[in-house]
Amino acid sequence: MPSDLKVTRHDFVSRPDLASALAGDIADHLTRAIEARGAATLAVSGGTTPTAMLRRLSKEAVDWSRVTVTLVDERFVPMESNRSNARLVRETLLEGAANAASFLPLYSPAPSAEEAASAANNLIEVLRLPLDVVVLGMGTDGHTASFFADAAEIEQLLDMKTHRLVAAANAPSAGEARLTLTLPPIATARYVALHIEGEAKKAALDQALADGSRLPIRRVIDAAASPVEIFWAA
């Protein structure tokens, strides 16, 4: 791993230990943001990996009424779908006291993912940037958010000069159209965590951290304003 790479690694013996540690870290950063600025913003990822962590986070002692939650990315599917990240967040994080948080989904029932992305962009623009906390996931192909290497829009999504906060992503490997935060709101966040589990994803991470890598997650790490905190458990 290059010595100048902006990452901090946290390895855990068990996934429950990871979920507890990461939830506590996120809660601490949200609370500090509330103390400093009166409100906090949190963008989370979907999939199966974060489920236990999100449930644990919902129980943290945060003033959730001052927190706005959004998504790092979303599939262009209705919120009732089992593949909806918004549904996952509603069923895991926005429970109990955390139900007091405001939630800004990316999906809307527009005619196309591009039109839904434009609507989501207008929603996200009202948030106070930089975001306080962004929690990323990663696939075994090295993608994060909806930055798939085979996405037609990949270079626009990873352009730090883009003025779009949310854009559509169309990649054959993704299975369906996606809506995603672009690189700027992710890379400029005050705290960025990468949550991965399993040996296959550890191998993909090692590949991403190697000299010369251009995998999407590496491009996010290279652009990040502060070191990316990597949380891994077998």
Pairing of strands 191-197, 133-136: parallel
| CA separation for the pair 76, 70 (Å, rounded) | 15
* Nearby residues of 146 by Cβ (< 8 Å), 6 or more positions away: 73, 157, 169, 171, 174, 178, 179, 180
pLDDT (tens digit per residue) in 90-135: 999 999 999 999 999 999 999 999 999 999 999 999 998 999 999 9
* Nearby residues of 150 by Cβ (< 8 Å), 6 or more positions away: 171, 172, 173
Closest C-alpha to 172, from 151, 142, 156 = 151
Domain spans in the chain, listed from the N-terminal domain onward = 8-233
The residue whose two tokens read 């991965």 is: 196
Binning pLDDT at 50, 70 and 90, where does residue 3 land? low
Class of CATH domain 8-233: alpha beta
| CA separation for the pair 8, 232 (Å, rounded) | 11
pLDDT (tens digit per residue) in 144-156: 999 999 999 999 9
